[in-house]
Chains A and B, each alone.
Chain A
Amino acid sequence: MKLKFVVLMAVASLFLMGSAHAEKIRIATEGAYPPFNMKNTKGELIGFDVDIARALCDQMKADCEIVAQDWDGIIPGLLAKKYDAIIASMSITAERQKKVAFTDRYYSNYLRFIAKKDSGLDVSKSGLKGKRLGAQRATISAQHLEDNYRKSANVKVYDTQEAAFLDLKAGRLDAVLVDAYPGYDWLKKPENSGYDHVGDTIDINDKIGIAVRKGDKGLVEKLNKALKAIRDNGTYQRINANYFPFSIY
């Protein structure tokens, strides 16, 4: 434990110079998780998470900077003070709570399998025996597959969600397990019309929150207050409606 602390401090001190502007809140997102966070053709970050981040900053009257960060390193980067908050559709899990603090949820997530339309896939545990199942690494979907199907099926994990979908289309996978809303967004695209959900939504009580460093209690409170405010004044609902015709809260 001690060694880990020393290493973390050493890494953190490398970035301390960058965090001199105390008033500024730097927010990290991934930029590869449509429609929640992605880059447009100009390379600017857009999406539901980014809109929520902007709305929260307006509400808090804070000066915000939104940066892109690869998913694998997004929590280590927060701990190293490269930024102050993560708004990147991150699930609140017990394992993550050991490392970071979370705000209240800003939406709820479900998991769903996607497969070829005529696949007739049975998504029960016995039906998926020996099947090739994919998900994005370091996501709840990947953990769900690893925990439940690692022994009985052929589980594969990918660095990006897009790569998992590519392999589904290439025929290397029988099904992809994915968060319900990005899956919905992917299925909406005309080029993916040959694919559909299989089975019911899997409710794993997955709540999406904003991650901040454990020491930053003040920021958690400020973000929670701002979240409640944008829920109350209708800003949240407006942003929601831009992406989904149903509430995802």
Chain B
Amino acid sequence: MDWSLISQYGDRFWDGTLITLKLVLLSSVIGLIIALPMALARSSHYRRYRIPAYSYIYFFRGTPLLIQLFILYYGLGQFEFITNSFMWSVLGDAEWCGLIGLTLNTAAYTAEIIRGGIRAIPRGEIEAARAYGMSWWQLQHRIVLPRALRIAWPAYGNEVILLLKGSALVSTIAVWDLMGESRSIFSRTYALEIFLYAAVIYFLLTFILTRLFNQIEKRINRYLVCY
């Protein structure tokens, strides 16, 4: 083990870790916000809501994240009507492309997870809400979504951890995330430990995320547990 590598490249590991964290936190939060209405649309009785949501989910779950990032980053840059438009101020930036790619991808998975939660709500609770005369909107935001989120929470935590590891792919579109920094440091040192250090950092981030999700789960689901 060559510990001098850490002192020499420590600041680059730190910079990369911050960017990875930023991407994962932002994309998981925005992804969740997109996923909530999409899960409702996906569970709707109306085809005009169900089919667009289903197509979106099918596309993003059916293709590799790497290809989605390549299309978003390299693909869209080929069209002049995009590079000349206002969209380019966002799509022209690698970190924005990474954020958009991760967000769109995780939104699809999260919507499917929440749909599972919606389906698992005991029918009696929904019937009871209807019997009280709740409107559709009242039913959704008072009963369906809060219950679905609580049921789906552990699975959603799993998705965020997968997202953290999937985020390593943004290094292929010139983002200096933890993986991007590690690969560049490795390419000049050829020290395999570099990837071991990166793995330890990913592990620690996963550990922190898991604890965080467990704490939130305990809090939001405490009515289910007898202490």
Contact = CB atoms under 8 A, between A and B. Distances in A.
A72 B183 contact: yes
Nearest to A159: B172
Interface in A123-169: 134, 137-138, 142-143, 146, 156-159, 163, 166-167, 169
Instruction: Say what secondary structure dominates the interface of chain A.
Output: helix
Interface string B94-134: 10000000000000000000000000000000000000000
B184 A4 contact: no
B33 interface: no
Interface of B is mostly: helix
B190 A163 contact: no
A138 B187 contact: yes
A184 to B, nearest CB: 24
A172 interface: yes
A95 B184 contact: no
A243 B174 CA distance: 31
A98 interface: yes
A17 B181 CA distance: 34
B79 to A, nearest CB: 9
Q: Looking at B83, B172, B188, which has the most chain A CB atoms within 10 Å of its CB?
A: B188
Interface residues on A, range: 20 to 34
B183 A1 contact: no
A171 B77 CA distance: 8
B180 interface: yes
B74 interface: yes
Interface string B156-194: 000000000000000010100000100110111111110
B92 interface: yes
B92 to A, nearest CB: 5
Contact of B189 (A72, A95, A167): A95
Contact of B77 (A75, A76, A158, A170): A170
A166 B190 contact: no
Nearest to B77: A170
Nearest to A164: B174
B62 to A, nearest CB: 24
A75 B190 contact: yes
B77 A4 contact: no
Given A157-B180, A170-B78, A76 B190 contact: yes
Given A156-B94, A166-B74, A143 B190 contact: no
A77 to B, nearest CB: 12
B88 interface: yes
> Which residue among B74, B180, B191 has the maximum number of chain A CB atoms within 10 Å of its CB?
B74
B174 A156 contact: yes
A159 B180 CA distance: 10
B184 A142 contact: yes
Contacts of B224: none
B189 to A, nearest CB: 6
Contact of B74 (A1, A99, A163): A163
A3 interface: yes
B200 to A, nearest CB: 14
A140 to B, nearest CB: 10
Interface of A: 1, 3-4, 7-8, 72, 75-76, 95-96, 98-99, 134, 137-138, 142-143, 146, 156-159, 163, 166-167, 169-172
